Amino acid sequence: MTPAIFGISGTELTADERAFFKACDPAGYILFARNCESKAQLRALTDALRELHGKDQLFICIDQEGGRVARLRPPIWSPFPASEVFDQLYQIAPASAIEAARVNAQALALELAEMGITVDCHPPLDVRQPGAHDVIGDRALGSEPMQVAALGRAILDGLARGGVTGCIKHMPGHGRSMCDTHKEMPTVTASAQELATDLSPFRALNTALIGMTGHLLFTEWDTENPATLSKTIIENVIRGEIGFDGLLLTDDIDMEALEGIIPERSARSIEAGCDLVLNCWAKLDDMDGIVNALSEISDAARARLSRVEDAMSAPPDAVDVTELIAKRDALLQVTSEAAA
């Protein structure tokens, strides 16, 4: 098995993709809007991936947070709000905000599960910092670490009830970024004491089955390598201080925050301690280069992936999506009433 999550170019597998994926046996796949045309088409695509691998429990993920980060959109799929709305409600009614976040995530997960999607790259546990770039912005669950942890835990629970496994991100924290990692690498100069705030939500939810790194340079821990490529940060901070022992994915290895060719970045991330490389853009040349640059998945990574796959066998709760959305909206109405 290749320790990578690969993208797919279109709404169905091409002959070249089918042959390539069959030969290299990636750990899983990631879907984008380009892969999602209709419910019948998307379910046929995920079924084709499972058939290709000969197993029902397959890592098929998507970025479906709500707001601006949503690959499945109306009118085919339901609209879901950005995380900021739960932050706003938490300021007025914390218990209501936690319940609203949970039922929202459950409804979202039920729609994903219906499409054969097993993993959602959600929630971000990045603590929002004043003056930071809006690459996180309204995606954040708040600026207070324990609030972020409480809402993040509700989201993980809601996703699981809907039959989907969540992925916490972006370790060890993306909230201080002053630029967009899709375009360039942020340098964070905060002290260890300041960074303890960023680590806190991840530590609180360190039993999550899946986590994702961020492409940020933290000078307090490593002056040369961003977190994704830093053995020091992965071993001492993510696995050590945070205590995370779940499956660790890179953020998209193709982002411009990282230097070097894609296969080289991929090899460095695995050498640093990531379990799987995430490569989103479905470029066969890049994917072939990654396969050639990487060794077989490690025993530790395979065991962590097996725990994720085992969780996929749990059936979702039998709840109607419209009822969950109605409950969420009723809870969120408190914020509108308070502002009136």
Active site residues: 182, 251
The DSSP H or E segment spanning 334 is: helix 321-339
User: E strands along the chain, which residues?
Assistant: 2-7, 26-31, 59-62, 64-66, 69-70, 119-120, 165-166, 168-171, 187-188, 210-213, 217-218, 247-249, 277-279
CB 124 within 8 A of CB 141: yes
- Other CB atoms within 10 A of residue 42 CB: 23
CB 124 within 8 A of CB 83: yes
Residue indicated by tokens 């905000």:
97
CB 98 within 8 A of CB 105: no
- My answer on whether omega of the bond before 53 falls inside 30° of 0, hence cis, is no
CB 192 within 8 A of CB 198: no
CA dist., res. 229 & res. 250, Å (int): 9
Q: Classify 41 as helix, strand or coil.
A: helix
CA dist., res. 88 & res. 319, Å (int): 26
CB 294 within 8 A of CB 272: no
Backbone angles phi, psi at 127, to 5 degrees: -80, 120
